Structure formats: structure tokens, C-alpha cells
Amino acid sequence: MTDQIAVLFGPFGDIYRRDRRSPWVGEGYVDINPDDARELGIDDGDYVWIDSDPSDRPFRGWQKDRKNAAFSRLLCRARYYPGTPRGVTRMWFNMYGATPGSHEGHTTRPDGLARNPRTGYQAMFRSGSHQSATRGWLKPTWMTDSLVRKGLFGQEIGKGFLPDVHCPTGAPRESIVRITRAEPGGLEGKGRWRPVELGLRPRYESEAMRRYLAGGFIDAGTGKEG
């Protein structure tokens, strides 16, 4: 069940893992405005490095901790996403991040699977995660039902749901990042990602695809206003 959800989670799923770089049957990715990506020399489907403020990320003191820095820097695929404005990128916050064990599996197994050889933990990133670029933010009363609660959104009930206590926290954060191309998106790093080559992706449309998008394969005789 989980593997099938991972296959469907975004555009890069492949149940047979034909590309051994892929951490699993599906993987984390960053949505990027196609014009931004072009400027950065990034093709749709390429692997990219994402870095944030080096003073405290991916974690404080990473410069002196090469062992942990090795799996903490965010490496993922870029997806051309026309739905995000220029200058803004987006990444889902609910995928399994890389760990020392998953990174060990990814770099030592012949099939490249990012799975911890001892625990079986399965990552959806080759390296790092969405949290590599953000700071952790634990709420003072996080999951501590017995502590004093403060009023929030006008809600001051003593029991029951409270956003301050029960909402997930820590992961979804905004951050300024630098994105740089790491590897080509094609199978095993050769050439461009196949849907790009086939002319099916935004900004790479083949002639047939452009015609299809415009509804040009049918004349319904009702005029073309739309």
C-alpha cells in the first residue's frame, strides 16, 4: 500500500525503479517555476542541490561534522511547475527524509535503494529532506496535554482540540534557498528525463502536444471561443 502511494506521489514514480538513483519507487521533488529553472540551467526532471543559510543549515556545525553532513544536504528532482510564480518554489512536507542508514543503503546497495540495512527505514530522498533548508520549530507546549494552554484564535476551552497542542509543527516552513543543478534527469543520468524528450512537459511541448493543448484535433463546428 505505502509503495503504491509513493509511486503516485508526484510525477517521478516508477514501481520498477528503472533509475537506480531513485531512492525508492517514488521520491521527493521540488516544484519550480519553469522560467526560473531555465535561468538556472535546470531541465525538468533534473536532480538539484538545494541549500539554505549555511550558518545553521542543514544543521548547526555541519562544517565540522562531515559524517552527518554527508546525508543532510538536500538532493532531489526538480519538476517544472507552471502553477507557482517566479521566485517561489514548493516542496511537500510529508515525505520520509534521508537518514544515516538510508544514505548508507543508497550508497552501498547495488540497486541504490535508500533503505536502512538494519532497520528497513525507507527514505524518499537520496540525501537530506525538505527540513534540510528549514529550521526546526518546536512549539513550547508541543504534545504536552497537561501544560497550561494559551488562548489562540479565540479558543480558550480547557479540553479538546487546540491548535497550539495538536497541530503538526516544525516542518512546514519558508526559507530562502539556492538551487543548483546536480545531475541530468534521464535514465541513470543520461540525457533528459523521458517525458521531456517525448515533448509532453510544460515548456518542452512537441507540435502534437501544442495542438492537443489547444483542442486542435477536433473541429466541433461550434466556434473556437472558449
Partner 1 sequence: MALVRNWQLGRDMSYWYPEARPTRQFAAVFDINKCIACQTCTLACKTTWTSGRGQEYMLWNNVESKPYGFYPLAWDVRLLDMLGAQRWEGSRYAGRTLFEAAPAGERVLGWRPDDLDYAHPNVGEDDCFGRIDRGAALSLPHAAWFFYLARICNHCTYPACLASCPRGSIYKRPEDGIVLVDQGRCRGYRECVKACPYKKVFFNPSTGTSEKCIACYPKIEQGEQPQCFVNCIGKIRLAGFVSVPEKARPDNPIDYLVHVRKVALPLFPQFGLEPNVYYIPPVHVPLPYLEQLFGPAVKGAVETYRRAPEDADLAGLLALFGSSQQVMPRWKRLGDTVLGLSEDGRELVRVPLREPVYVRAALDSVRGVVRTNVP
Q: How far apart are CA 38 and CA 44, in angstroms?
A: 9
**Residue 69 exposed, middle or buried by CB count within 10 Å (0-12, 13-18, 19+):** middle
CB 185 within 8 A of CB 27: no
Q: How far is the CB of 188 from partner 1 (least distance, A)?
A: 13
- Which of 104/183 has CB closer to partner 1? 183
Among 143, 147, 167, 198, binds partner 1 (CB under 8 A): 198
Binding flag, residue 83, partner 1 (CB under 8 A): yes
Binding flag, residue 225, partner 1 (CB under 8 A): yes
Binding flag, residue 166, partner 1 (CB under 8 A): no
- Which of 107/206 has CB closer to partner 1? 206
CB 118 within 8 A of CB 87: no
Applying the rule CB under 8 A, the residues between 6 and 65 that interact with partner 1 are 7-16, 18
Decide: helix, strand or coil at residue 21.
coil
Binding flag, residue 85, partner 1 (CB under 8 A): yes
Q: How far is the CB of 117 from partner 1 (least distance, A)?
A: 24
Q: How far apart are CA 38 and CA 113, in angstroms?
A: 30
The contacts of residue 219 (CB under 8 Å, 6+ apart) are none
Which residues bind to partner 1, rule: CB under 8 A? 1, 4-5, 7-16, 18, 80-86, 153-157, 194-195, 198, 200-202, 208-209, 211-222, 224-226
